[in-house]
Amino acid sequence: MRHNQHRFTISTTGQALYEFTDEVEGWLSGTGIDTGLVTLFCRHTSASLLINENAASAVQRDLLRWLDQAVPEGSQYEHDSEGPDDMPAHIRTMLTGASLSVPVAGGRMLLGTWQGLYLAEHRRAPHRREIVAHLIGE
């Protein structure tokens, strides 16, 4: 078994979903590993990773709207030292997750036709987010 690791940096402009499927595919194609498993890990507690539809932009808007309704900002949180969007961002990350695992074959992720990889930025301010990718395979 061979291993390969890479760090992706995504600069965000605020609350949104940022697709990074192409960046991961580009890295995978250069590893020389044909078959295996790629694990992606977000190194932050107020941003998360998702696999979701990448064809209709309405899906992303609906997801963000649902997260806003499910975990609203407000004075109900004790933790607010970094602003009113901080604690809701932590809860949204807990709900959506910090890591993904995707099988790889033919040097490509076995995502479905309309699936893409997204960083979900849960904070309103711009951030630089880091995602660690680890590929194991042959």
Residues forming beta bridges with residue 51, ordered by sequence position? 117
For 31-73, how does the pLDDT look when each residue is reduced to its tens digit (9 = 90+)? Answer: 999 999 999 999 999 999 999 999 999 999 999 999 999 999 9
In the chain the domains, ranked by start, together with CATH numbers, are 2-137 (2.60.120.460)
Predicted pLDDT at 138: 98
Alpha carbon of 127 to those of 10, 47, 57: distances in Å? 8, 10, 22
H/E stretch holding 102: strand 99-105
For 93-135, how does the pLDDT look when each residue is reduced to its tens digit (9 = 90+)? Answer: 999 999 999 999 999 999 999 999 999 999 999 999 999 999 9
pTM of the predicted model as reported, rounded to 2 decimal places: 0.96
For 4-31, how does the pLDDT look when each residue is reduced to its tens digit (9 = 90+)? Answer: 999 999 999 999 999 999 999 999 999 9
